[in-house]
Structure 1
Amino acid sequence: MNRRWTARLALGAGTAALLVLLLVAGFSSILLVAVGVVGVALAAAGAWWVLTRTGWKRLLAVVLTVAAPLVVLVLYTAAGLLWVVLLSIVLWAFAVSAGRAALVEDSTPGMPDRSVSPPDRPFLIMNPRSGGGKVEKFHLVEKATALGAQVAVLDPDHPQDVAELARQAVRDGADLLGVAGGDGTQALVAGVAAEHGLPFMVISAGTRNHFAMDLGLDRQDPATCLAALTDGVELRVDLGRIFTDGAGHRSEERVFVNNASFGVYAAVVRSPAYRDDKAHTILAMLPDLLTHHSGARLSVRAGSMSLDDPQAVLVSNNPYERGDSAGLGRRERLDSGRLGVLGIGVGNAAEATELLLRGRQGRGLTTTTAREVVIDADISVIPAGVDGESLMLPTPVRCLLDAGALRVRVPRNRPGVPHTRPPLDWGRVRRLALTMGRVAAGHDAR
């Protein structure tokens, strides 16, 4: 289906979503929408109070969070209009999806790649516990060895210095470094590969595989990633670096392929009790952290943007898609030369509600991009989560982007090469649906 008809479908579905409410519910449709918005607002406020209160106040907040949407559903059902609302929501969701699809260019340019010869001495590090045992399940060691790779399998009972293991492989003549493991292990080895100018290979054997997803790799079958050893292409991608200025000198602490987080999440994960009882630890710590009664008070500088007292900060190696209001989906590119910066600063239930209803337009969410981001605090050392690894870093912490620093070897044919998803613009969708038809008929598009 071409873009013209996709745009027409989007407009048709959006119009139908409104007509269903107006024609069936009449003027009551205004009341239906108002009731729904109030229900969402009360549920959002209740959720905020659940996170920031304790004892009987938290219990009341739980009741409000659950009761608000239930009351809305009961009111819709009593009016005999529940099916109308659900149908309208489905039509609107389809309209939004079709509208975004229509705005995607027919041939969206991806990250440029170049053909390369197979490596002579590839060296792969594999973590047998990553992803619930994917290394063994997909016979990755045997398949990689059959393709000529030297494989080092980590011993979970005897922790090893993964970066030093990779450096030793380089000293022994390895001409490619690869990892089958989590994003944290990948980042460590990627830093060594970039340091020596060697290609780096990702095998999607981790749990979430965020980096592999953004490279377009198959996350369901990590064995397909091994095709990069025989029929691969090379991408030049950016690499995030973290520096600290402690003790009067700058020192590099870590590199990151995905992101570095600071604030609430990093503090909770750092707690010794988190591993044993995640839910209880989160609920116990969040009230003080979110209301600034405990934890570090952060300040952020990213280019011309300054942010004081955010509850959480996420610095990513390239920005996340704009269509994801939480900013935690996927990245359109890994070679834009910019860090993505997302700061959350919510002071009360009203701001929490606005953030839920308006997404990136809410006052509690700040997004920008920059080549360098500085995170400072009112204490000398702060917790940080770097590609899922919990660290303590001296302040100030500087995050910089090393553009094109990493040579990544990927299979020539990979299933998940991302397409850019532009923000939805109904004006553009309407013009696309109308003007393309005129151009096809030979008329001036103006």
Structure 2
Amino acid sequence: MIGNRGSGKKDGSQQSRIIRDALEGKVAEFALRETDRGDQLMSLARQAVEDGFDIVVAYGGDGTQSAVAGALAGTRTMMGVLPGGTFNYFARDLGVGETVEDALETLLDARVKSVDVGQIENLIFLNNVSLGAYPHILKTREGIYKRWGRSRVAAYWSVLVALRRLRNPMQLTAKVDGQSRHFTTALVFVARSAYQLDAFGLDGAEAIRDGQFAVLIAKARRPLPLLRSAFRLAFGFSAKDSDFDLIVTDNLVIETGKRQQLVAHDGEKTRMVSPFHLRVRHGDLRVLVPADDVSKTRGVAE
């Protein structure tokens, strides 16, 4: 098990004991490898693969799940998911349980499902990639978390604070199937989580279930219209076509006016060089899901 001590709000040592008690003795060999540095998660997972472990379990938020998935995608090593973050979209999408206790029950009575993952350049992502406003929201959220602690209220508040500070929209080109479309926008959101889109009342969830990206490009170019969209989403009002252009594809190139751009991916952020190549890697990650799962949310059961 790969654990991120920096995820969520709960007592990490207590959670580790619960996990160890539930799994130790039920497998041929159990090892717990923890870190409080997110940049070490992928190397820990890769080392676990090299050490010959059949299953690598990720305990933490969506950033932790994404880092471990990046090491396991394309291998035969199976991934287990234990939610330990704020939103846990990947765990919810898979239906493995929204608490550690429920997810542990899934691990002990599971089947293997090959699921799709997204890739931007050399990075694997599970839920979303975004350009424009959202990476700046993440920067704001980090400061709010440090001052007030992690919570959904703090996360939503960071959206409002960050949008108030935004001024300049992006000029970008999206290339799909040899065709180019030009946009002036404050936000591009490339989604791979059907659960997340359903939760926010946005179009594209069915496309994701069919193995595509739902690329949402905000029509709002300035903070105030974006703020109105954010309020509609926060209070459960569907935004859909009135707020976003939607592109459905499993392969695209996004080019921005800036050579370097801050890119948000599954709650993390990385500065990358434009143009950005994105593709869906179909069935490239083997994940443990409930034994009675028959859905096609993210892939095909083996």
Question: Which TM class, normalised by the smaller chain length?
Answer: 0.7 to 0.9
Question: What TM-score, normalized by structure 2, do the two folds share?
Answer: 0.77
1:131 paired to 2:5: no
Please point out which of 176, 183, 188 is paired with 1:313. Answer: 188
Aligned residue in 2 for 1:8: none
Question: What TM-score, normalized by structure 1, do the two folds share?
Answer: 0.54
Q: Note if contact 2:130-2:188 (Cα within 8 Å) is conserved in structure 1.
A: yes
Indicate the RMSD between aligned Cα atoms, in angstroms.
3.6
- After alignment, is 254-263 or 307-316 more displaced? 307-316
Identity %: 24
Alignment of 1:281-430 (within 5 A): 286=163, 289-292=166-169, 296-303=170-177, 304=179, 306-317=181-192, 326-327=201-202, 331=205, 336-347=210-221, 359-362=239-242, 364-413=243-292
CA distance in 1: counterparts of 2:142 and 2:113, whole angstroms? 41
Aligned residue in 1 for 2:31: 151
After superposition, the Cα gap between the structure-2 partners of 1:305 and 1:170, relative to the gap in structure 1 and judged at 3 Å, is same
CA distance in 2: counterparts of 1:194 and 1:345, whole angstroms? 34
Letter in 2 for 1:360: K
Q: Secondary structure at the match of 1:346?
A: coil
Aligned residue in 2 for 1:42: none
Letter in 2 for 1:131: G
Q: Secondary structure at the match of 2:261?
A: strand
Aligned residue in 2 for 1:257: 126
1:371 deviation in Å? 1.1
CA distance in 2: counterparts of 1:269 and 1:412, whole angstroms? 36
Please point out which of 85, 93, 96 is paired with 1:214. Answer: 93
> Which structure features the higher share of helix residues?
1
Letter in 1 for 2:31: V
After superposition, the Cα gap between the structure-2 partners of 1:273 and 1:205, relative to the gap in structure 1 and judged at 3 Å, is closer
CA distance in 2: counterparts of 1:412 and 1:258, whole angstroms? 23
Aligned residue in 1 for 2:118: 240
After superposition, the Cα gap between the structure-2 partners of 1:354 and 1:327, relative to the gap in structure 1 and judged at 3 Å, is closer
Query: Can you give the 5+ residue segments of structure 1 that lack an aligned partner in the other structure?
Result: 1-123, 244-251, 420-446
1:160 deviation in Å? 5.8
Aligned residue in 2 for 1:199: 78
Letter in 2 for 1:224: D
Query: Can you give the 5+ residue segments of structure 2 that lack an aligned partner in the other structure?
Result: 148-153, 298-302
1:263 deviation in Å? 0.7
Which one scores higher on RCO, CA 8 angstroms, separation ≥ 6?
Answer: 2
Letter in 2 for 1:227: E
Letter in 2 for 1:152: L
1:161 paired to 2:40: yes
Q: 1:306-352 CA deviation, whole Å, 9 max, x = no partner? A: 24111101112265687666539x95686522111111121477898
CA distance in 2: counterparts of 1:269 and 1:354, whole angstroms? 18
> Which structure features the higher share of strand residues?
2
CA distance in 2: counterparts of 1:346 and 1:373, whole angstroms? 22
Q: 1:64-97 CA deviation, whole Å, 9 max, x = no partner? A: xxxxxxxxxxxxxxxxxxxxxxxxxxxxxxxxxx
CA distance in 1: counterparts of 2:8 and 2:228, whole angstroms? 35
CA distance in 1: counterparts of 2:131 and 2:253, whole angstroms? 11
1:367 deviation in Å? 1.5
1:186 deviation in Å? 0.9
Letter in 1 for 2:8: G
Count of matched residue pairs: 279
Aligned residue in 1 for 2:151: none
CA distance in 1: counterparts of 2:142 and 2:96, whole angstroms? 35
